[in-house]
């Protein structure tokens, strides 16, 4: 049994990570940590947690804990991660992995020294449909990819009051660091390539619903057009256009993966009938998965199962600190592009976030 301590009892921990840790057969929710005693007490009662801590130093010093889930605010990721690794714990760190590359260097040094598993929680790459889209790309059915459309929007800032740190770019509270990092990771994950440069534009910085647009060039010649916000209707989609076909991935739809060959014209009866049949075939499975939260919740479950498998087998995670560095560096370059109003090469990204003042 892997005994897990969770640092940070906010939204993503309460809604996603903690229920999974408490219910996986190979894990035990051994401890929770947060400055908010009421939040801790609620989780202790709900999940019968054995230990509750107000500071992370006490949790990582608990010899009975094997692994630490770090869901604290981004400014704490590096300090908690380094402390946990130095205490001999495996770690899973919520995205973004850190505020900057200096912090990431510290995490990597601690991971090398401890020889423990250090994973980064990028649940989008573990989504059932993301994995399906990746297989379509790898199969060659798309031919040579040329364009990618990427949209990730959320209404979080309309429905909830963000914590103070989430309103500060320098603390990671920017849509291009907090939210877009999911898709920055997916671009390379789906296409097996690297991002070369980015050019970003934003309206409404650090306010409710800042909106950002990003264009990017990938090493394989693909041009990306992307949009991100936390202040509009929720949507989570990617489309890849190749010279033999097109694949669309919509992560909030149970039937949201569709491939169309290049010769098939949109809107004609054939594609409509095919999509209707696909939806009917997918519906029973969607009902079964709905009982456990649906595909989005399932991506966290798959992510945790992979982490557990890595700990049991002593193997490195597929999404580790290197992958976290790659996604964070794209975000740092995008923030620099905002500040400098020009394209920025990923190789020239700054080592820390440059706040955008508009």
* DSSP code string of 19-52: HHHHH-TTEEEEEEE-S-HHHHHHHHHHHT-SEE
How many CA atoms lie within 13 Å of 149's alpha carbon, on the beta-carbon side? 11
The Cα-based distances of 324 to 140, 186, 198, 205 in angstroms read 27, 11, 18, 24
Contact 26, 308 (CB under 8 A): yes
Q: pLDDT band for position 207 (50/70/90)? A: low
Whether 245 and 259 have beta carbons less than 8 Å apart is answered as: yes
136-139 CB contacts, 8 Å cutoff, 24+ apart? 136/247, 136/257, 136/259, 137/190, 137/191, 137/192, 137/240, 137/247, 138/192
Q: pLDDT (tens digit, 9 = 90+) per residue, 263-295?
A: 999 888 888 898 899 899 999 988 889 888 899
Mean pLDDT of the chain: 95
- 8-state DSSP, 68: E
Residue-level pLDDT at 271 = 86
Confidence at residue 153, expressed as pLDDT on a 0 to 100 scale: 95
pLDDT at 205: 62
pLDDT digits (tens, 9 = 90+) for 217-227: 999 999 999 99
As a whole number of Å, the CA-based R_g of the chain is 20
Whether 226 and 183 have beta carbons less than 8 Å apart is answered as yes
Could you read off the pLDDT of 128-165 as tens digits, one per residue? Answer: 999 999 999 999 999 999 999 999 999 887 777 777 77
What letter does residue 245 receive in the DSSP assignment? Answer: E
Please tell me the distance from the alpha carbon of residue 221 to that of residue 223, in angstroms, as a whole number.
6
- Whether 172 has a pLDDT exceeding 90, the answer reads no
For the chain, which domains are there? 2-116 (3.40.50.720), 125-303+327-340 (3.30.360.10)
């Amino acid at each position: 049994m892997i005994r897990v301590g969770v640092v940070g009892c906010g939204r993503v921990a309460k809604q996603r990570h903690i229920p999974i840790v408490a219910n996986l057969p190979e894990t035990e929710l051994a401890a929770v940590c947060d400055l908010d005693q009421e939040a801790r007490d609620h989780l202790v009662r709900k999940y019968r947690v054995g230990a509750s801590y107000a500071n992370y130093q006490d949790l990582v010093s608990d010899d009975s804990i094997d692994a630490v889930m770090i869901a604290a605010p981004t400014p704490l990721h590096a300090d908690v991660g380094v402390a946990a690794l130095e205490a001999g714990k495996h770690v899973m760190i919520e995205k973004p992995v850190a505020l900057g590359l200096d912090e990431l260097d510290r995490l990597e040094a601690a991971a090398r020294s401890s020889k423990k598993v250090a994973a980064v929680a990028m649940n989008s790459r573990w989504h059932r449909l993301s994995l399906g889209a990746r297989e379509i790309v790898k199969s060659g059915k798309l031919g040579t990819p040329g364009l990618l459309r990427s949209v990730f929007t959320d209404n979080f800032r309309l429905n909830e009051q963000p914590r103070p740190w989430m309103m500060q770019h320098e603390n990671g509270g920017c849509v291009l660091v907090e939210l877009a990092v999911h898709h920055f990771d997916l671009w390379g994950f789906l296409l097996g390539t690297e991002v070369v440069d980015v050019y970003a534009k934003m309206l409404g910085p650090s306010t409710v619903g800042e909106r950002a647009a990003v264009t990017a060039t990938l090493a394989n010649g693909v041009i990306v057009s992307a949009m991100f916000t936390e202040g509009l209707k929720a949507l989570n989609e990617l489309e890849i256009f190749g010279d033999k076909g097109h694949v669309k991935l919509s992560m909030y739809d149970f039937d949201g993966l569709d491939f169309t060959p290049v010769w098939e014209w949109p809107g004609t009866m054939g594609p409509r009938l095919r999509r209707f049949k696909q939806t009917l075939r997918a519906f029973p499975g969607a009902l079964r998965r709905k009982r456990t939260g649906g595909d989005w919740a399932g991506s966290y479950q798959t992510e945790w199962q992979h982490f557990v498998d890595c700990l049991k087998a002593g193997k490195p995670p597929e999404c580790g600190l290197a992958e976290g560095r790659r996604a964070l560096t794209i975000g740092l370059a995008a923030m620099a592009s905002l500040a400098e109003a020009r394209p920025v090469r990923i190789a020239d990204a700054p080592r820390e976030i440059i706040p955008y003042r508009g």
